[in-house]
Structure 1
């Protein structure tokens, strides 16, 4: 039986037996998208993340079903929509890479990573509702050096980038 210890609109703290954990009351999954442009560039996003108090380089991502209008949406469609919102790119082809617990000792959330190709720039991107997302197009051939430079400059690098690259065979 799950006991609710604390809950807001966006985050809850729960207990099962002796274990406390967090979960989002409105979503239990997230999508992340490894998107490759026709010019063989990897699309990454950068945004300031309050919990870590610094900018983070990430693959485009978003929560599944956190908004009423998108409840029940297929995971592939959530990934396609989030990619468009954050980067302005539409993916004609999107395929699953891997599903994994986000942080199994802390949260019940699962991350679904996708590989997106056949991209077309349709919008400006940048996110919605004040997300303030900066989009980076990084040549695939220099991705590791680029990430190392960003890390040395003090930015955090989300582990899902490396997982998605590995799963896609890069």
Structure 2
């Protein structure tokens, strides 16, 4: 493998070159986690937030970075997922199941996204994120999820594909 050349490095994103290929990487995080929360009543919990790169509100599964903050260095990937779930939705998971780990966007970044499902949920607080994330929490019956996502898309929201990947793997494992 050829050596990595640093083209530019900011606080949250770096641009690098390996051989002839340029790619982006987060200099402050080792990977990304997502978590699909499934209530005992068969509801799916999704989050909504404005994303600066797309300049749109995006409907997503709760997600976050692993190792991006000093107080969480050394945290396991599953523990990062549980923490992000609690911060963003206000729910604590009794059980966390690994779904899949996959490249986020293999042509652009070496980042791996680790997807989990959370079950046996208990509501601890209102959620909404930390540090001004301004996250809106949506609790949707699984039977109404397609309608909810279609409605949000028709209103101009972007729908993150990781919702569908998580749902597929959760169904495959019998969690839904």
Q: Same fold (TM over 0.5)?
A: yes
Cα drift, residue 69 of structure 1: 1.0
Q: Distance in 2 between matches of 1:137 and 1:39?
A: 11
Question: Can you give the 5+ residue segments of structure 1 that lack an aligned partner in the other structure?
Answer: none
Q: Distance in 2 between matches of 1:145 and 1:155?
A: 14
After superposition, the C-alpha distances for 1:131-156 in whole angstroms (9 at most, x for unaligned) are: 00000001001111111111111000
- Report runs of 4+ in structure 1 exceeding 2 Å deviation: none
Q: Does 1:80 align with 2:82?
A: yes
**What SS does structure 1 have at the residue aligned with 2:153?**
helix
The number of residues matched between the two structures is 170
Cα drift, residue 124 of structure 1: 1.6
Decide which of 102, 124, 127 is 1:100's aligned counterpart: 102
CA-based RMSD: 0.7
Q: Distance in 2 between matches of 1:72 and 1:110?
A: 17
Decide which of 17, 21, 29 is 1:15's aligned counterpart: 17
Cα drift, residue 28 of structure 1: 2.8
Kindly report which structure 2 residues correspond to 1:1-170, keeping only aligned pairs within 5 A, or say none: 1-169=3-171
User: TM-score, length-normalised on structure 1?
Assistant: 0.98
Q: Distance in 1 between matches of 2:167 and 2:85?
A: 17
Aligned partners of 1:28 and 1:108 also within 8 Å: no
Q: Distance in 1 between matches of 2:12 and 2:78?
A: 23
**What SS does structure 1 have at the residue aligned with 2:33?**
strand
Q: Distance in 2 between matches of 1:52 and 1:75?
A: 26
Q: Distance in 2 between matches of 1:4 and 1:78?
A: 28
